[in-house]
Amino acid sequence: MGIYGLRENGGPVERNAGPSTPLRSAQGDKSLGGERTNAGSSTSLRSAQDDKSLEGREVVPVFAALTQPTLLLDVAGPMEVLRLANLFQDAVRFEVRYVGPLNSVMTSIGIALTGIGQLPAELPEKAMVMLFGDVEKVMMPAGWPAPQRDVRGDAEIVAWLKDVVRPGHTVVSICAGAMLAARAGLLDGYACTTHYLDCEELASVAPAAKVVENRLFVEDKDRFTSAGVTAGIDLMLYMVSQRLGDAVAAAIARYLVVYLRRGGAEPQISPWLEGRNHVHPAVHRVQDAMMKNPAESWQLGKLARMAGASSRHLTRLFQEYAGMSVTEYKNNLRVALARQMLSQTEMDIEQVAEKAGFGSARQMRRAWRRVYEGAPREARGEGMH
C-alpha cells in the first residue's frame, strides 16, 4: 500500500469492481488505481530466494477488508504483530492481502492507503478475515477537504462477508469492525465485544450475539473480537501465542515495547509471559536465557554475571521489574515446561519433574500449586488430540 494526495474533491481515486476471480494481490495494484494483476502475481513478485524460504511453512491467508475512513491504528497495530511473527519464526507465514470496495481509502490521520485489491469472490480454506473500525472525523492537512464515509462500501463489505465466510474461516474484528461482522450475521450466537462506546449499538445490531463489556478481547470458537484501538494489538498477540507459542508472542511484545495485558475476565496469563511487562534490558537478557532452558540449574551468580550486576542487585531488579524473585520466575518456567510435557507426552510424573529441572515430583507439585489450580495429573493429555 502507499500514500497519495487527495483529488480536489477529497474523494477516493477509484471504486473497485465487484468481487474478483481469481483473488487480487495488493502488491500488483498501481498506486493510483491502475491495472490489477491476479492472485498469482503475489507469488511471481517474490524472488526465488523468497520462495525457497517459504518451503515447509504453513501459510495462513489473511484478508484485511478496509473501509473509509479507516482508523489507522486498528490496521497498523495488529498487522505489525503479524509482520514480526513472520520474521521471528519459520513454521508459519501470514500472507496478508488488503481488500475492499475502494482501491484507496483515507485514514483517521489524513494519510490515504492505496493499492487495495478487490473483494475476492471466495476465500481459501482456513483463511482469516480481518475487519477494522472507522472514525467520524478525520485529521486532514490544513485546507484539505475531509472524505465522506463510504456507506455504500460498508454495505458491499457486509454483503461480501455473507457470501464468502464459511465454516473453517476465522473472523477477527478490531474495535468497531465488529459492526460489519454483526450486520453480516457472523456474530449471531457468539460472545463478542467492541469499543466501549459502541457496545450498546453492537447489541442492537446483533441481538442474537452475547455482547461482553469491559474486556480487551473475546474469543469464541472462530470469532475473535477486540475492544478499542490498541486492544487489537493485545488480541493479535494472543492469537500469535495460541498458534506459535508464548515465547514468540513475548518476543514480539518486547520488540514493540508493549505490555502483554489481560483483562480481569481473560484466561490466566501463561508463566512463559508473566513477568515480561517491563523494558529493563538486563532483566530481559536473564529471562531470555532462562526461558531457552528452564531445566538448567541457573545459579544466581551465573545469572548475575550475565546481567552485568551483583547477585544482590539482580535480585532487586527482578523484584522491581518482573514483580517476583529469580527463584519464583525459574520455578514458574519449569512448571510451564512440565505442563507441556504432561499434556504432550506419556512420561510419568517423576520423569517430567526431572526433565523440567525439579529435584523431585514433590517439589514440582509444590511449585505447581503456586501457578495452577488443580494437580499436575489434570494436565495429562490436554494437548493430545
**Residue 259 is placed in which grid cell?**
505490555
Q: Is residue 335 part of a domain?
A: yes
Query: Which of 309, 157, 174 is CA-nearest to residue 236?
Result: 174
Range of the domain at 307: 281-379
- Tell me, what amino acid is at 61? P
Query: What confidence score (pLDDT) does residue 8 get?
Result: 34
Query: What confidence score (pLDDT) does residue 146 get?
Result: 83
Dmax (CA) of the chain? 74
Same-domain check for residues 33 and 79: yes
- pLDDT tens, 196-232? 999 999 999 999 999 998 888 999 999 999 998 889 9
Query: Which of 134, 133, 130, 158 is CA-nearest to residue 222?
Result: 130
CATH number at residue 304: 1.10.10.60
Same-domain check for residues 226 and 287: no
Same-domain check for residues 289 and 251: no
Q: Give the CA dihedral 100, 101, 107, 110, nearest 10 degrees.
A: 140
Query: What confidence score (pLDDT) does residue 80 get?
Result: 98
Q: Is residue 210 part of a domain?
A: yes
Q: Is residue 198 part of a domain?
A: yes
Same-domain check for residues 106 and 233: yes
Same-domain check for residues 252 and 299: no
CB 321 within 8 A of CB 294: no
Q: Is residue 267 part of a domain?
A: no
Q: How many domains does the chain have?
A: 2
Q: Is residue 368 part of a domain?
A: yes
Same-domain check for residues 148 and 231: yes
Same-domain check for residues 36 and 159: yes
Splitting the chain (385 residues) into consecutive groups of 10 residues, what average pLDDT does each group show?
A: 37 57 33 32 34 73 96 96 97 98 95 96 97 92 84 97 98 97 98 94 97 90 92 93 88 84 56 84 93 94 97 97 96 93 91 96 95 88 49
| SS3 category, 327 | helix
Q: Is residue 12 part of a domain?
A: no
CATH number at residue 190: 3.40.50.880
| SS3 category, 116 | coil
Same-domain check for residues 302 and 368: yes
**Residue 207 is placed in which grid cell?**
441481538
